[in-house]
Each structure stands twice: as C-alpha cells, then as structure tokens.
Amino acid sequence: MADEALYDRIGVGYTPTRRTDPRIAEHILAALGDARSVLNVGAGTGSYEPSDRAVVAAEPSAAMLAQRPPEAAPAVRAEAEALPFEDRTFDAALAVISDHHWRDRARGLAELRRVARRRVVLFNADPAEAHRFWLTRDYLPGFLRLIPEAHRQPGAWAQELAVHLGPVRIEPVSVPHDCEDGFYGAFWRRPEAYLAARVRNGISVFARLEPQEVSGALGRLGADLETGAWRRRNRDLLEREDLDLGFRLIVAELGDG
C-alpha cells in the first residue's frame, strides 16, 4: 500500500495525539538556524512548523491536509519525490518523522537538497536503534521487518544520508517521559497508553503490521501490566525524565545561500 493511501486511511484519527512537543521543537528550531523560509516535507497536520518564519508545507495525503488548522502554513499536495518548486527556493527543507514513509528515500532526499539553499534538517529515529525500545523488543518484534535490512546495521543510516545530502551533523534528541507528541516511542514510561485505540490510531506502525500480531502484542502487554511484570522488567525506566530511543537531528549545511 502506498504511504499516501495509508495516511488517507489512518490519518483521520491522527490529530488528537500527534501534537508539537515544545522540547523537541526547540531542537528543530535551533537546527533551522537563520533560515527564514522553510519547506516542511511530509508535513502532516503541521506539527513543528515554526510560526516566526515563512513556511510552506508539502503533504501527499488528503486526509492529513484536511486536518491542518486554519492558522497552519499554506500547504500543497505533493510527494517528497516530486516537489513542485524551483531549485533553491527555500532557505531550508525540513522533514519531521517523515522520510521513512517515502516511496523512494534517495529521490526524496535529493529533492530536499535541490529546493534548499542553506540547509536540510531531518528529525527521525536511527533504524539501527529500533531493537532497543521495550515495545519492539518484548512485544512487537515484527516492527523490525518494516525496516530495510541495510538500515539495521549501525552507521548505515548516517552513511546513506551523507551520500545524498553531503556531510551531515547528527545530534541525539532524547524523548521526554511526558512527550506531547504521540509517536511510536513517546509513551516509553506510560505503557498503558499503547492499549488505547486513540493512541494507536496516531501511530502508523500499528496499521502496517498484521492485526493478529498487534492484538497478540497488546494482550501480552496488558497481562504484564496487570501482573506487574512490565514494571519489574523496566524498573530502570521509572524514574527517568527522558530516554534516548535513537531519535536524531540530521543537519546538512549546503552553503550560505
């Protein structure tokens, strides 16, 4: 299924749990630096779009575009692989938890570099770190099947990004325990949240795996929460304020415009 179709199907319930987390937003704004014009690619409903700059959003899913609030940046329906803009139109191109959904990442990355004058900024998780998260490790190992084999090797993701973007700076971004953006790893200290359909509806992983696999995982998680097994197994997480789940800021400096 094309990712456009996936989000047209699951995107209807996306808005309630997928919001800008201000702490993550600070990292993204700092990475954008002095860019005054920004293209947000795979923009969804508009999270992390800075309000103090000229922003244009590109999003392929009609369901996602329909949920953008009236005050959000102007948006065009477009895929990352074919952005309808001239070369070097924007100071910066931005993609937040988006590039893993593109049909052709190499082409999408090339497009971001083409339309940006100064820098490209990505925020996403290093695929090689996915196995560390307890939800994947203990309940949803099938998530790893969604990751291309080549990207599961340490350092492979960064090497691929550098091939298409040039030299990149990589900065770790820890996920706060009360993260306001309900992406896959956001509830690492709130495991009961994953039992709520409202939360899962905003996380594409649950729509991409087989229903039987998801229901089995949720059953095991629910039982472990009831017996206290989850708490015993993850007691080291209970007092942590934030956690490194492999999320990284990728910054490629292209020049001074």
The predicted model gives 78-87 an average pLDDT of 97
Specify the pLDDT at position 18: 86
Taking residues 192-202, what's their average pLDDT? 94
From residue 225, alpha-carbon distances to 188, 191, 220, 228 in Å are: 13, 8, 9, 5
- Give the Cα separation of 95 and 41 in Å (integer): 5
Residues in the chain: 257
At residue 93, the 3 state secondary structure works out as strand
Q: Is the pLDDT of residue 257 over 90?
A: no
In this predicted model, which residue has the larger pLDDT, 83 or 67? Answer: 83
Domain range for 210 is 3-253
Cα 27 to Cα 59: distance, rounded to the nearest angstrom: 22
Per-residue CA distances from 107 to 80, 102, 156 (Å): 8, 9, 17
- In this predicted structure, the answer to whether residue 13 has a pLDDT above a threshold of 70 is no
Instruction: Tell me how many domains the chain contains.
Output: 1
Average pLDDT, rounded, for the chain: 92
Where residue 232 sits, what CATH number does that domain have? 3.40.50.150
End-to-end CA distance of the chain: 38
Q: What is the pLDDT of residue 1?
A: 34
pLDDT at residue 236 greater than cutoff 70? yes
Report the percentage of the chain scoring pLDDT > 70.
93
Comparison of pLDDT for 11 and 215, the residue scoring more: 215
Q: Strand 75-76 to strand 90-96: parallel, antiparallel, or no bridges (unpaired)?
A: unpaired
| Average of per-residue pLDDT across 138-165 | 91
Mean pLDDT of 75-82: 96
pLDDT exceeds 60 at position 10: no
Q: What is the pLDDT of residue 2?
A: 42
Q: What's the pLDDT tens digit per position in 169-188?
A: 999 999 999 999 999 999 99
Closest CA to 126 of 255, 257, 249, 256: 249
